């Protein structure tokens, strides 16, 4: 039997999603809770590997088990009691053994949050950046971004991938109020460090320290060393993972926290 888990987490205290030799990860924490509750070793596969300090409002993972689980609201509640307060399971539901949390996903949607004012209640959850940014210019850069598919210049140099092509569905900046600025980006896949490097480069554009022509030259160079530095992890959120309808059919009737 294969099950999907829908969960969210605050990534501040974790060394990313994936199991790490040098720190606690979301994956290993989730596996420990499932193993304790079910009574047999459980290993999970996530839809993607968020970096250290990155948050997820919606993340999916799957695990396999020999016998069907007796899924009830109480079962999920008990798992959440085992998990630390910064990880929450929202639903568990059965899927086909061909469905895969990572490879069946058809889209990922990220947001990046920048605040101009220091906020004691948002520490670790937004990027505090004081300079006023030219949002109109940054949105012009987004239109350039949408014309391309190869984003090697925004990928970490040691990324272990076979290609650097991603299909972007949208990319835009939104000023929520005088304090909060949010970057929205959705694609079929993302490269390691891609969103944070795009944000870091666009912040240069927003300060009018980089021209739009230079931005396009960076994309065409396919060279990470010419792009801006990556924005801090704490402002980045995975907010939605998309799957074909047939994968999610059991989610609506499944048990939730």
Are the C-beta atoms of residues 233 and 54 closer than 8 Å to each other? Answer: yes
Share of the chain residues as helix, strand and coil, in percent rounded to the nearest 5: 25, 25, 45
| Vertex 62 angle, CA 57 and 63, to 5° | 140
Q: Let me know if residue 257 belongs to a domain.
A: no
Q: Let me know if residue 255 belongs to a domain.
A: no
The whole-number pLDDT of residue 159 equals: 62
The whole-number pLDDT of residue 15 equals: 93
Q: Let me know if residue 254 belongs to a domain.
A: no
Q: What is the mean pLDDT of residues 217-239?
A: 94
- Chain-centroid distance, C-alpha 48: 7
Same domain? For 81 and 159 the reply is no
C-alpha 187/C-alpha 158 separation (Å) is 21
C-alpha 25/C-alpha 114 separation (Å) is 25
C-alpha 121/C-alpha 123 separation (Å) is 6
Q: Let me know if residue 38 belongs to a domain.
A: yes
The whole-number pLDDT of residue 209 equals: 95
C-alpha 242/C-alpha 233 separation (Å) is 22
C-alpha 185/C-alpha 191 separation (Å) is 13
Same domain? For 83 and 206 the reply is no
| Confidence check: pLDDT of 77 > 80 | yes
Look up 64 and say whether it is catalytic: no
Question: For residue 42, what are the contacts with CB-CB under 8 A and spacing of at least 6?
Answer: 31, 34, 35, 63, 65
The whole-number pLDDT of residue 167 equals: 96
Q: Which of 51, 99, 179, 223 is catalytic?
A: 51
The tens digit of pLDDT for each residue in 120-173 reads 888 889 999 999 999 999 999 999 999 999 999 999 866 677 889 999 999 999
Domain boundary among 54, 81, 104: 104
C-alpha 192/C-alpha 230 separation (Å) is 11
The whole-number pLDDT of residue 39 equals: 93
Q: Let me know if residue 66 belongs to a domain.
A: yes
Domain boundary among 44, 72, 104: 104
| Confidence check: pLDDT of 81 > 70 | yes
C-alpha 121/C-alpha 235 separation (Å) is 14
The tens digit of pLDDT for each residue in 176-200 reads 888 899 999 999 999 989 999 999 9
Q: Let me know if residue 253 belongs to a domain.
A: no
Same domain? For 85 and 156 the reply is no
Q: Is residue 243 a known part of a binding site?
A: no
Same domain? For 93 and 156 the reply is no
Same domain? For 78 and 180 the reply is no
Residue 210, domain CATH: 3.30.70.660
| Confidence check: pLDDT of 253 > 70 | no
Q: Let me know if residue 175 belongs to a domain.
A: yes
Containing domain of residue 232, as a range? 107-239
The whole-number pLDDT of residue 158 equals: 65
Same domain? For 38 and 55 the reply is yes
Binned at pLDDT 50, 70 and 90, residue 249 comes out as confident
Same domain? For 69 and 170 the reply is no
- State which H helix or E strand residue 237 sits in: strand 236-242
**Tokens at residue 249, please?**
């059919």
Mean pLDDT of the chain: 93
Domain boundary among 104, 127, 157: 104
Q: Let me know if residue 120 belongs to a domain.
A: yes
Structural domain total, the chain: 2
Same domain? For 89 and 212 the reply is no
């Amino acid at each position: 039997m294969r099950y999907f888990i829908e969960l969210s987490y605050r990534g501040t205290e974790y060394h990313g999603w994936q199991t790490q030799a040098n720190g606690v990860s979301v994956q290993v924490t989730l596996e420990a809770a499932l193993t304790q509750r079910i009574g047999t070793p459980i290993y999970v596969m996530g839809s993607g590997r968020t970096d250290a300090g990155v948050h997820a409002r919606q993340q999916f993972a799957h695990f396999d088990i020999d016998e069907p689980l007796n899924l009830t609201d109480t079962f999920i509640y008990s798992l959440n009691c085992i998990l630390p307060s910064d990880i929450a399971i929202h639903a568990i539901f059965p899927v086909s053994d061909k469905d895969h949390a990572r490879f069946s996903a058809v889209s990922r949607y990220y947001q990046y949050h920048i605040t101009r004012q220091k906020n004691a209640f948002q520490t670790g959850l937004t990027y505090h950046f004081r300079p006023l940014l030219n949002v109109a210019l940054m949105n012009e850069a987004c239109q350039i971004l949408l014309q391309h598919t190869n984003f090697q210049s925004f990928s970490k140099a040691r990324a272990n991938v076979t290609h650097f092509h991603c299909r972007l569905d949208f990319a835009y900046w939104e000023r929520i109020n005088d304090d909060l600025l949010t970057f929205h980006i959705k694609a079929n896949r993302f490269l390691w460090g891609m969103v944070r490097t795009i944000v870091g480069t666009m912040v240069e554009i927003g300060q009018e320290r980089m021209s739009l022509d230079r931005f396009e030259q960076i994309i065409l160079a396919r060279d990470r060393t010419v792009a801006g530095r990556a924005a801090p992890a704490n402002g980045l959120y995975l907010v939605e993972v998309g799957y074909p309808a047939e994968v999610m059919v059991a989610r609506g009737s499944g048990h939730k926290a």
